[in-house]
Chain A
Amino acid sequence: MSQAEHESAAARGSRLAAPHPVGLGRIFLAFLRLGGTAFGGGTAGWLYREIVLRRRWIDDATFLGLLAMVQIMPGSNGVNLTVLIGRELHGVAGAAAALIGLLTAPFAIVMAIGTVYGGLGEHAVIAQMLDGVAAMVIGLTFATGLGSLARSTTDPAAWLIASATVVAIGVLRWPLLPVVAAMIPVSIALALVRRHRR
């Protein structure tokens, strides 16, 4: 009982930190900066750090809700997540500002590098450096998954579901869609049971 109270108090606390509308200019600039610095892919991890942890524009639970939605839908997860966060912050104009902000810098950068120099793939050292960047970004991705779940729930069942998902998709390489289709009803049922016990 006291744990449940504690949990709902924590949930209320993190809700309070959430949405008051953010100006379009600030949204555009935040995502412009993100687009220009988010090296190595793994855009969700970069978004989490900048929008949830640093700026506190949305809370952990909202972030995971939006993340779940883009993961089960087609398209680029980073781009779609950007649009949904922009929408959360300032409706359709916020979504557009965030999307244009995110894509402007990388678009300009690849055009510039492509124009000056094409043969990047041949250099062993550059390939190695990209491996190093990739390793760090995977670390960022892991930390985002573990950190956002830890901050949004204290429910052991949630960790069980998350671990089962990692084993099925990450380790056993089962296909994404059937696994998600099986996991989501179980997870929701557990969330409902937990709610009723409270």
Chain B
Amino acid sequence: MIAVRRIRPLGLLALAVLLAAGVLGCANAGNGAAGSFSSRTPNTLTVATAQVPDPGFWQGTIAHPSGGFEWELAKRLASHFGLAKVKVVEVPFQALVHGHLGGADLALSDITITEPREQYLDFSTPYLKAPPAIVVRPGTEVADVDAARHLRWAVQNETTLKEALEKQIEPTTKTLVFEHQSEKLEALRDGRVDAVLLDLPVALAYARESPSKYAVAAQLPSEAELGAALPSGSDNTEAVDSALRALQSEGEIDRLAHRWLHADYEEGGAEGVPVLRTEE
């Protein structure tokens, strides 16, 4: 006679949970608790950026990046997703903020998270505070917003900095508008303009690299933050968010900021750079 053992309630419950979890697990195959990342190219994280080199953020060339905050961040993200390689593609900033990532999985390019840009892109959780900073030639002083208003300004088109200049500073003279960051910096160097706006970490990196050419005079009050940009509707956003939170909780992002940007951005800006009080 075969002895039939009585099934215990716990056994039944465990079986039910296991079956249900199995079905759900199959339906969401590979979707871990922190979200799953699926790269466009096998075993490779493809990252788009607007400009290499970009002091503090990208060093070397597009083909051979050698350092910088966002390059190292890209490598950490790839490692987090178990991808062996990182490939970098160069895409103009205006194209990036309109959702054209040049076939990349994501973009790391000092992109400020804004609502208008969210029409074209999905943004990750922010990884760096980036208030606008006023960059001048050494010796130029900007005591207050009124003094800033009377300077001659250059700004890059399609950037949050252009909006900040128009709303927070409201220059009294006509602003020169350029398509590329390098052009407005050139205008500052050759004296066509007195000041430009850059994201604070970028501004500090330029000033550190070329102290004879650039000085950071002040920063503007802002909650602007940089984030990774992904194609709109991307299934990878959850995974990138979780990875960035993990890197933040491990202190890795702070370490990278300290290593490449030489500043502690925890509290929203580099200490020692005065904040201009504006009405906006």
Q: Does A associate with B in a complex?
A: no
Binding site for B on A (CB under 8 A): none
Binding site for A on B (CB under 8 A): none
